[in-house]
Amino acid sequence: MSVGGGGFIYTSSDNGTSWDNRTSGTSNWLNGVTFYDNTFVAVGNYGTILTSSDNGTTWDNRTSGTTNNLYGITGRGLWVVGDNGTILNSIDNGTSWNQTNSGTTNILRSITSGGQGYLEEAGGTLSHLAVGDNGTIIGSRGGCCGTNWFERPSGTKVHLFGITAGEMLVAVGYTGTILTNTNEYRENTWTSRTSGTSNFLLGVNY
């Protein structure tokens, strides 16, 4: 599954060898897509959220409740982030969406879910972390519901575009920025790593 400018959506049924152009029903730029509980969910500009339950062949336009651009989505519980600190959550496979208070007005670009205690820290288990402009990193201790968001010092003011959680946390961003957190996430300590490039780093996963 691939999404992009002009509302383009492409799907492949043969491990990426060939691709089919699907009708999304929107011309808005699509910035992210995930798969959750047999449903594909795509997000994009002007609050666009689309869902598909037939492997991306047809798409339904959902009401997000916002006109802010949406950039990042995670497939563990369906969480979406975007402009002006927007955070949305769905508990019904993307059909309806609720907005929560993130505590920031900075643009949020990416969000990750911990799972398996990866985001465990003293004082409670972190359910999610989101990153964005001006070095913003915020976390939630709200379990599934993400009700309590708080800032976690990143040590940088550059824009952060991507974050992932696994055996460690990795965030990437502007001018080749790479930040890691390997101390079981029990401290608000991020270490800047040398990437060897000044290019923007937009995404990270492992």
pLDDT per position as a tens digit, 150-189: 888 899 999 999 999 887 889 999 999 999 987 644 556 8
pLDDT category at 144 given cuts 50, 70, 90 is low
Mean pLDDT along residues 91-105: 94
Q: What is the pTM of this model?
A: 0.90
| 8 Å CB contact between 88 and 116 | no
Query: Among residues 185, 186, 156, 161, which one has the least CA distance to residue 171?
Result: 161
Q: Which residue has the tokens 């055996």?
A: 167
User: Tokens for 95?
Assistant: 């059909």
Q: Which pLDDT belongs to residue 77?
A: 78
Contact (CB, 8 A) for 29 and 4 = yes
pLDDT band of 115, cuts 50, 70, 90: very low
Lowest mean pLDDT among 46-55, 94-103, 133-142: 133-142
- Give the pLDDT score at 167: 78
Q: Chain centroid to CA 153: how far?
A: 19
Distance (Å) of CA 141 to CA 39, 115, 149, 160: 26, 12, 7, 21
Out of 12-21, 35-44, 159-168, 178-187, pick the least confident: 178-187
Calculate the CA 96 to chain-centre distance: 18
Which of helix, strand or coil describes residue 84?
helix
